[in-house]
Structure 1
Amino acid sequence: MTPASPLRLSIAILDDYQGVARELADWSGLEAAGAEVTVFREHLGHDDAAVAAALEPFDAVVAMRERTPLRAERLALLPNLRLIVSTGRRNASIDLAAAAERGITVCHTGYLPSPAAEHTWALIHAATRRLDAELGGGGAGWTDDGGWQTTLGRGLEGRRLGVVGLGNLGSRVARVGLAFGMDVVAWSQNLTDERAAEVGVRRVEKEELFATSDIVTLHLVLSARSRGIVGAEDLALLKHDAILVNSSRGPLVDEAALLEELTAGRIGCAALDVYDVEPLPAGHPLRTAPRTILTPHIGYVTREQYEVFYRDAVEDIEAWAAGSPIRVMEPRPS
């Protein structure tokens, strides 16, 4: 489709939970040219009809990562949509082929890998030092009768860290583990001994990683090949006190099998930032499962990251409106 002038643009910013989209980027140029910018702070839900009803008037949508999927069925209900800007470099929840068929341009923004790697270590520290129990102001460690130091933490030096996926994020996490004096091993479907050695770690087979690691952390891109890559048989290999950390994508792990292992007390802890369904429903069994540390997919949620997201989103919209789109995401060949 032919790009619209900013004078005729109606822009929806989705899932701005913190209400910072306007603060962290300069939208004034677009608005001065006549564009209308609407911010949705609340999640629009999972019903296609409800999402389509909310977004039907808009020419452009700024999607925060994968919070609101834009698959073929939804795109078919949005006849006015001509531009999607996805924060981050990739978005598996946008059907790029369907968008292309409908003449919808899809652009991405920049991305900082450091926040997700940092949050992975926040989860690891929380799990090893039992911060779920020891935090003051409600945790079991500080009780009405003066309870103090009710748990015993675990150190990191000399422990084995198993990294599943040694790409950009996995490598960052692995190097921190080495700095703590950990024995770091890694596995992924395409990982070579040479690549592992470049990071300073050792490649092992998947079975050995799950059976011998004290902490297993996942850093894979979600795809048809990686979905469910951590199944019941892998979880069954974990030590009784092992910690599983997932700050990548929920569907990498068989959620039902993980819940079974946690409930039965066969693993030490699951420290999770990502889930099969997000936001995690109020009645979801993970919310009350034992031996869990849960955060609401905040691994990438930092001021510095959002400044990149929203600044680049403005640039993407302005470039598209001028007829020269940038950072265009193309569908991959079948």
Structure 2
Amino acid sequence: MKKWKVVVTDWEYADLRFEEKVLLAHEGVELVPAQCRTEDDVIEVCRDADALINQYAPISRKVIEALRNCKVITRYGVGVNTIDLDAATEKGICVANVPDYCMDEVADHALALLLSWTRKVTLANRHVKNGNWDFKVTQPIYRLRGRTIGLVGFGKIPQALAEKVKPLGLQVLAYDPFFPKEVAEQKGVQLVELDELCSQSDYISVHAPLMEATRGMIGENQFSLMKKDAIIINTSRGPVINESALVKALQSGLIGGAALDVLEEEPMVKDHPLLSMDNVILTPHVAWYSEEAAEEMRSKAAAGIIDVLVFGEYPKYLVNQRVKEQVELKACQPEQRYQNF
């Protein structure tokens, strides 16, 4: 019987029980846990692996070229920026992610940041705990109803957020050059160009994936267009916002504030200027998290491995579609395998 070696290159969980439940249910699958940090670490452990599950360890071209047997790499979560997609595609390796495990969690967190900032909840809490019982420290607070939120990107998460904010009386704009205008209109959302979104929105929530085209897409030019009391929220990836431009805009009063779950460098340095600003709310890249979302993400990442190795199918969440030119597998039929998560 064929033996399949599946390596988890790195993880930050207490155990791998969800991955084990999915993978070890199939005879012949061997799960090899590792905690790789460098390219050389990955190469040493994964050189003869049939599949990888990846979190943060670099799966670069150098690593991929050293892989002898690898057929599929799955990544915890949505982003695949740790993996050289071109190199994987050229070598006929399927790359998969888990794009749908935390849609409500991230949308809820963006909404929580919006409400916390606009109602000055964290600011008021800090003052009360310091012995200052005075609502005037929160001034000014503005009514949400009738104001406008702009969504940068209009995938599944911002679509979920749009549905959550409409009952609050917010008008919704979105910028997404790949989304059909007529479909957005059916959802009650107006698609506009990025500059118009920046100039018209009272609140801007960033949901763009990180790629070269989006790196730093919210920078000095965009901040210069925003309203003086505009709030920017980011629950996508830190580098989508030019952080030095954001700091400058906040320090100069060009915009009103920020609520950020992600930063260019994580964890942030102890003397980061954002830490000393009362008009900034920070959370530690937690928007994706709930107990249910964590189980779903880890289980689906493992299931993508089974799709390829055991069933000979393309993974359900195949990212590099061009790999189909290099390797021929069956179409994925995941219903039974994915019904429990």
Q: Does 1:14 find its partner at 2:10?
A: yes
What residue number does 2:30 align with? 35
Residue among 120, 138, 156 paired with 1:168: 156
Q: CA deviation at 1:31?
A: 9.1
Amino acid at match of 2:127: A
What residue number does 2:255 align with? 267
What residue number does 2:119 align with? 129
What residue number does 1:62 align with? 53
Q: CA deviation at 1:181?
A: 0.6
- Counterparts of 1:264 and 1:122 in 2: how far apart (Å)? 26
Q: What's the secondary structure of 2:123's corresponding residue?
A: helix
Cα deviation digits, residues 224-275 of structure 1 (max 9, x gap): 3333222211111222221001112222222221111122232211111222
Q: Once superposed, what is the RMSD of the aligned Cα atoms?
A: 3.3
Cα deviation digits, residues 105-145 of structure 1 (max 9, x gap): 4333462322221111111112112233233xxx23311x4
Amino acid at match of 2:74: V
Q: What's the secondary structure of 2:96's corresponding residue?
A: strand
- Counterparts of 1:55 and 1:133 in 2: how far apart (Å)? 48
- Counterparts of 1:293 and 1:35 in 2: how far apart (Å)? 44
Residues 286, 146 of structure 1: alpha-carbon distance in 2 compared, 3 angstrom cutoff: closer
Query: How many residues matched?
Result: 318
- Counterparts of 1:272 and 1:129 in 2: how far apart (Å)? 16
Residue among 138, 143, 146 paired with 1:151: 138
What residue number does 1:72 align with? 61
Q: CA deviation at 1:59?
A: 5.0
Residue among 257, 280, 292 paired with 1:304: 292
Residues 28, 103 of structure 1: alpha-carbon distance in 2 compared, 3 angstrom cutoff: closer
- Counterparts of 2:6 and 2:214 in 1: how far apart (Å)? 37
Residues 207, 101 of structure 1: alpha-carbon distance in 2 compared, 3 angstrom cutoff: closer
Q: What's the secondary structure of 1:98's corresponding residue?
A: helix
Q: What's the secondary structure of 2:21's corresponding residue?
A: coil
What residue number does 2:166 align with? 178
- Counterparts of 1:28 and 1:184 in 2: how far apart (Å)? 42
Amino acid at match of 1:134: A
Unaligned 5+ segments in structure 2 are 324-341
- Counterparts of 1:108 and 1:49 in 2: how far apart (Å)? 23
What residue number does 2:272 align with? 285
Q: CA deviation at 1:294?
A: 1.7
Amino acid at match of 1:5: K
Q: What's the secondary structure of 1:179's corresponding residue?
A: helix
- Counterparts of 2:127 and 2:66 in 1: how far apart (Å)? 49
Residue among 3, 6, 26 paired with 1:5: 3
TM-score, scaled relative to structure 1? 0.79
What residue number does 1:26 align with? 21
Q: Does 1:119 find its partner at 2:117?
A: no
Cα deviation digits, residues 165-218 of structure 1 (max 9, x gap): 223222222222221011222233355653332111333443332123210112
Q: What's the secondary structure of 1:307's corresponding residue?
A: helix
Amino acid at match of 1:285: H
